[in-house]
Structure 1
Amino acid sequence: MSRAYLCVSIDTECDKGPQWRSQRPMAFEGVHVGIVERLQPLFASYGAKPTYLVSPEVIRDARSAEELTNIGAGCELGAHLHGEYAEPGAWEPEVTRDFQRDYEGDIEKRKLTYLTDQFIRTFQHQPVSFRAGRFGIGPRTIRILEDLGYSVESSVTPNVDWSKAGSPGLTFADAPTQPYRPDPDDPTRPGSSTILEIPITIRPRFLNLLPGIGKKLGPRWLRPTWTSGEALVRLAEDEIGEARRATPGRPVVLNAMLHNTEVIPDASPYADAEHDARAILDRLRVLLAFAQRESISVIGLGDVPEILGA
């Protein structure tokens, strides 16, 4: 029977609030407390290696950058682009609404180059993993990431259509749920890229198959933000079972996601109070305990290509 692995990929950003409004002045308690005091000790207690996908404004904050550097081998640091924070044309928005796939001309490439160069200067190594803000990859993204030296991409959200969220055509409704080499022109389809796509683990509900009401229900995310611990475990078991049936002998990869700001109060739309933030941490703890119990190693996104021999 093939082994299973779990990635926990964390979008690492400045502090937000209701409706994702950025705090003023810009604050980083989601790093200072969310990661340093809460998330990383939790991962360490399970021998787990998270991936922190770091946005430009966090990289520029000296204290946050130092704290992330000090975690060392206990985590993987990757890159995360909310394009408003990257040159050319960097600014501090109230809400990050941009989809990088919608930038004109060479703007997407220039912003990704800025992010990558900034990452290398700050952390003294090449980032290998990447996720787009708002999951907004497009037909140019994969080739740009190849040119910039990345080996892993993780913006694909299977069974989700984002076209009504402000970027017509952005849909991953038919994308695979297990890692694959994408078509550079259409990252939702397998192809021949040197990049390995590691989708977030998202599966349809049975009711999604029903006409009418089924279309109104969202799919199941491996995301402790709003999914109970028990439901996270069931989803993980379902994905492992189906993946093993579909490709016997191939390692199975699960990819859970959340934001660093979700595990402290008043820094995201999801945790208004301390008990809300603690509940998200408790649900993540249930998933990590399941992984430990089932001998599922918790690894970085950048570790997956070697495991798959891809």
Structure 2
Amino acid sequence: MSTASWPAAVAPPTGPRFRWPAGFGTRFAICIDTEEEFDWNAAFDRQATAVTAIRALPAMHRRFADRGVPLTYLTDYPVASTPEAADTIARLLEDGVSAVGAHLHPWVTPPHEEVVSRPHSFAGNLSPALEGAKLDALGAAIEAGFGRLPRMFRAGRYGMGPSTLGLLAERGYVIDSSMRSGFCYTGEGGPDFRHVGNHAFRAGPGGALLELPLTTVWLGAMRAGGAALYDLFDRLPRGRGVASRLGLLDRIALTPEEMPLAEALRAIDRAVADGVELLNFSFHSPTIVPGMTPYVRNAEDLARFYAWWDAVLDRLDHHGVRPASEADLVAAATTAPLAVAA
């Protein structure tokens, strides 16, 4: 399937539901956007490249390791190119099950040829040549820092574009996880994922990549209406809030960032009941340091963050949902047959 024909700022194509290998079962993955710190309320800044939050990763990593949960660190250029940060993560990978992938923030990744702007924060809005050059710089930094080229990718701000999947395939990537099911970023010049479901599918030229959408679950009496109904409620005064309070419709992404625990647990129950075979969780690495993102502002918020994960992991265990490492996902992607080229 080729993506070269879909215009920027609209919907990328999807494909038939991926058939996971026999015995894969229902699994979950935790892929962390491992990135620099910046002011989320300010304009994008090419000079904002500090990565001090990486020092907090070992304590966080131990919590998941104690539960037998591998992590995939989707690492961006400022992290991979900073020796202290890369060394910190490299030591975490010594557990033998965690891994690094790639995460592209174009405004802090060379070559710096574009004007820094909100539309250009979506790498898919750059020319294919410049997007490819930034992917090359990122891949080289990861190879230098970790001794291997990345196989899994997520676009920063979910900012994939018409050329992204083809560029990834050319560079040997196996998995993309840039599509955020049920969300739309066209108001900022980004892509529209409202039509994307939670099931994995083949994507890119000839289905060369396995697309793992970030899991988003619709809850409520009107959940079948999904994104279209959610948008309709948004056009009404306080419509989404009213719909949520009345139990009509909620959009729950599998992330501890802004997603209350009770709703997250219900979303896990629903995803398992819906037969979603890979529940794809995410969060941003600076969130584990109070004050660096809007999601964890103080010590109490951080305690709630970890309590969220404890309860979520308990619920997954209750359902018999096992963790999947990056190696598990790559093995599944590379043993299953490719799609027929469109």
How far does residue 306 in structure 1 lie from its aligned partner after superposition? Answer: 2.7
Question: Does the CA contact (< 8 Å) of 1:154 and 1:198 recur in 2?
Answer: yes
Aligned-residue offset at 1:195:
0.6
Counterpart selection for 1:238 from 270, 289, 296: 270
Contact preservation (8 Å) 1:20, 1:268: no
Q: What residue identity is the alignment partner of 1:110? A: A
Q: What does 1:72-151 align with in structure 2 at a 5 Å threshold?
A: 72=93, 73-89=96-112, 98-151=121-174
The equivalent position to 2:258 in structure 1, one of 221, 226, 240, is 226
Aligned identity (percent) is 21
Which residue does 1:201 correspond to in 2?
Answer: 215
Contact 1:152 / 1:195 at 8 angstroms: preserved in 2? yes
Report SS of the residue matched to 2:121.
coil
| Residue equivalent to 1:248 | none
Q: In structure 2, give the amino acid aligned to 1:48.
A: V
Residues 115 and 225 (structure 1 numbering): CA distance in 2 closer, same or farther, change over 3 Å?
same
Q: Which residue of 247, 271, 277 corresponds with 2:302? A: 277
Contact 2:36 2:48 in 1 (8 A): no
Alignment gaps of 5+ in structure 1: 185-191, 245-251
2:269 counterpart of 1:255:
no
Q: Over residues 167-192 of structure 1, what are the superposed CA-to-partner deviations in whole Å (9 max), with x where a residue is unaligned?
A: 3xx101111311110244xxxxxxx3
| TM-score, structure 2 as length reference | 0.77
Q: Highest CA radius of gyration, 1 or 2?
A: 2
Are 2:208 and 1:176 aligned? no
Query: For structure 1, which segment, 227-236 or 20-29, has the greater mean C-alpha deviation from structure 2 after superposition?
Result: 20-29
The 8 Å contact of residues 263 and 281 in structure 1, kept in 2 or not, is answered as no
Give the structure 1 partner of residue 51 of structure 2.
28
2:63 partner SS: helix
Change (3 A) 1:287 1:103: same
For the pair 1:166 / 2:193, whether they are aligned, the reply is no
The one-letter code matched in structure 1 to 2:305 is: I
Count of residue correspondences: 292
User: What is the identity, as a one-letter code, of the residue corresponding to 1:50?
Assistant: L
State the Cα distance separating 1:227 from its structure 2 match.
1.6
With over 3 angstroms needed to count, the CA separation of the structure-2 counterparts of 1:204 and 1:263, relative to structure 1, is: same
Opposite residue 69 of structure 1, the aligned amino acid is A
Q: Tell whether the 8 Å contact from 1:10 to 1:260 is kept in structure 2 after alignment.
A: yes
Whether contact under 8 Å (1:15, 1:30) holds in the other structure is yes
Picking from 198, 209, 213, the partner of 2:233 is 213
Alpha-carbon separation, structure 1, partners of 2:325 and 2:319 = 18
Residue pair 1:84, 1:96 contacting (<8 A) in 2 also = no
Looking at structure 1, the residues matched to 322 and 281 of structure 2 have their Cα atoms a distance apart, in angstroms, of 13
Q: Is the 8 A contact 1:181 1:194 kept in 2?
A: yes
Question: 1:62 Cα deviation (Å)?
Answer: 1.0
Give, as a single letter, the amino acid of the residue that structure 2 aligns with 1:5.
Answer: R
Larger displacement relative to structure 2 (148-157 or 222-231): 222-231
Judge conservation of contact 2:72–2:326 (CA < 8 Å) in 1. Answer: yes
Please give the alpha-carbon distance, in whole angstroms, between the structure 1 residues aligned to 2:270 and 2:331.
24
In structure 2, the partner of 1:249 is none
**Structure 2: which 5+ residue stretches go unaligned?**
1-22, 241-249, 337-342
Q: Name the structure 1 match of 2:10.
A: none
